[in-house]
């Protein structure tokens, strides 16, 4: 009886081992067909461009097409919900912006759960926000701008590219930190019109993502007072960080990241991460992203998962404390 039990147990172990080996072999062949990469925004924006750079590199590296499918709408919610409902087989990926973490607090109804519906894959790239002013504004530093705003109640406003965008929330975080009640946000329908308004002097200051502001700063149409990254950025090396000017806890970045539907096999997640991290280290991909004002990252799924939690908590607090009304 004992011998039979041992034989049965041994057979079960052998069978389990065979299944694991078979599964490993199957995953080793991944991808065996084209992979859909959902971008929940229109073509041409920073999320889309970053996704295309990475997808093209993966296609070349893995020999199967990683193709972009743009599904814009509702601040990214439409495409994200489509990705959440996709099979968890590694053949649908989501490239998300910071809105993935912001929208659950900003919208009254969000058609996805960022924690339950998705598994984190990696942070592809990050770009800080930047505080810029019209050249006529006398302030040359963050401290001087705060003094200006306090000395002239109602005079200063800030252009921002859209309600709930990370530049908007950066401005609100700054406003909360210094208790600048009269520093009014002026929403626009994107970074380009927000920057144009500030160049024209209609809005004296602006908070935007770094990439759209680089040219205007370099040409002297705007003066950059600070970036919201932990370190200075290569694109504008002479612009100090908030922390360098003694302003703490103002770090805020426009993040472009990748997720897979929850339940995607770990072997596929691990392989995708390895391959993405590898392409982000190549000179061709890194230079393309840096030219857009982004810094390649390639964090592990675990690291990115922790960052997602922190971002959700941070922006939820800012939205609540700034009394930003939810979008219905």
pLDDT per residue rounded down to tens, the chain (328 residues): 444 444 544 554 554 454 444 445 567 899 999 999 999 998 888 899 999 999 999 999 999 999 999 999 998 999 999 999 999 999 999 999 999 999 999 999 999 999 999 999 999 999 899 999 999 999 999 999 999 999 999 999 999 998 999 999 999 999 999 999 999 999 998 888 999 999 999 999 999 988 889 999 999 999 999 999 988 988 899 999 999 999 999 999 989 999 999 999 999 999 999 999 999 999 999 999 988 888 999 999 999 999 999 999 999 999 999 999 999 8
**CA neighbor of 276 nearest in space, from 296, 292, 291:** 296
CATH classification for the domain delimited by 27-126+254-321, as one of 3.40.190.150, 3.40.640.10, 2.30.40.10, 3.20.20.410: 3.40.190.150
27-126+254-321 against 128-245: fold identical:
yes
Going from the C-alpha of 27 to that of each of 122, 265, 266, the distances in angstroms are 19, 9, 10
Amino acid 24: pLDDT: 53
Alpha helices of 63-184 — where are they, by DSSP H?
77-84, 99-106, 142-151, 166-178
Amino acid 211: pLDDT: 85
Amino acid 4: pLDDT: 47
In whole angstroms, give the CA distance from residue 280 to residue 260. Answer: 18
Are 55 and 93 a contacting pair, CB within 8 Å? Answer: no
Read off the DSSP letter of residue 76: G
**What is the pTM (predicted TM-score) of this model?**
0.84
CATH class as words, domain 128-245: alpha beta
Amino acid 234: pLDDT: 84
Token pair recorded at residue 273? 């991460």
The CA angle 115-83-259, to the nearest 5 degrees, is 50
223-227/253-261 β-pairing: unpaired
Structural domain boundaries in the chain: 27-126+254-321, 128-245
Amino acid 212: pLDDT: 87
Q: Compute the Cα dihedral for 244, 248, 254, 258 and give only its sign.
A: positive
Task: Centre a 10 Å sphere on the Cβ of residue 86 and count the other Cβ atoms it contains.
Answer: 17
Amino acid 290: pLDDT: 87
């Amino acid at each position: 009886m004992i011998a039979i039990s041992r034989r049965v147990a041994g057979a079960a172990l052998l069978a389990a081992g065979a299944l694991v080996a078979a599964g490993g072999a199957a995953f080793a062949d991944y991808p065996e067909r084209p992979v859909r990469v959902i971008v929940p925004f229109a073509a041409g924006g920073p999320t889309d461009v970053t996704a295309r750079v990475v997808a093209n590199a993966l296609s070349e590296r893995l020999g199967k097409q990683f193709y972009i499918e743009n599904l814009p709408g509702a601040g990214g919610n439409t495409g994200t919900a489509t990705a959440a409902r996709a099979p968890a087989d590694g053949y649908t990926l989501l490239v998300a912006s910071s809105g993935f973490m912001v929208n659950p607090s900003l919208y009254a109804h969000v058609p996805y759960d960022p924690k339950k519906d998705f598994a984190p894959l990696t942070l592809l790239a990050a770009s800080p926000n930047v505080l810029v002013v019209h050249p006529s504004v006398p302030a040359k530093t963050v401290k001087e701008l705060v003094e200006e705003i306090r000395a002239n109640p109602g005079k200063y406003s800030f252009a921002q590219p859209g309600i709930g965008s990370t530049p908007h929330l950066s401005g609100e975080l700054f406003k909360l930190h210094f208790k600048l009640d009269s520093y009014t946000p002026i929403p626009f329908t994107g970074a380009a019109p927000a920057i144009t308004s500030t160049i024209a002097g209609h809005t004296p200051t602006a908070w935007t993502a770094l990439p759209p502001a680089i040219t205007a700063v370099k040409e002297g149409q705007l003066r950059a007072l600070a970036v919201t990254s932990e370190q200075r950025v290569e694109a504008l090396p002479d612009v100090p960080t908030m922390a360098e000017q003694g302003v703490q806890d103002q770090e805020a970045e426009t993040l472009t990241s990748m997720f897979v539907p929850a339940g995607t096999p770990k072997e596929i997640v691990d392989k995708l991460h390895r391959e993405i991290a590898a392409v982000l280290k190549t000179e061709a991909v890194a230079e393309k992203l840096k030219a857009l004002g982004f810094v390649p990252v390639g964090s592990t799924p675990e690291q990115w998962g922790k960052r997602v939690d922190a971002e959700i908590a941070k922006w939820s607090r800012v939205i609540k404390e700034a009394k930003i009304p939810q979008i219905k």
